Amino acid sequence: MFINAWTFFRFRQDKQRAGRGEWRVSESELLSLAFLGGTPAAFAARHLLRHKTRKQPFSTQLWLIAAVQAGGLAWLAAT
């Protein structure tokens, strides 16, 4: 639960910094947070904040992380 809250916070922070022209949160950090379990918050933040919705290759990488996680969960459920 913490990782999802932190992921959403960092997406929001990046959106705010972008609007102010400040130093941004790196895409690698945002993707790492998603990889560590913050994928639901990453997708929620993208939708609710309308942030990084068309950015490539970020969007593709986020979907790839989600697919790998879903595959891992399916594998765990099957074993």
Residue 50 DSSP label: T
In the prediction, which pLDDT does 54 show? 84
6 confidence band (pLDDT: 50, 70, 90): very high
- Cα–Cα distance for residue pair 56/3, rounded to 1 Å: 24
- Cα–Cα distance for residue pair 31/65, rounded to 1 Å: 8
pLDDT surpasses 90 at 53: no
Tell me the whole-structure pTM to 2 decimals: 0.90
State pLDDT tens for residues 7-48. 999 999 999 999 999 999 999 999 999 999 999 999 999 999
In the prediction, which pLDDT does 18 show? 94
**Domain spans, the chain:** 2-78
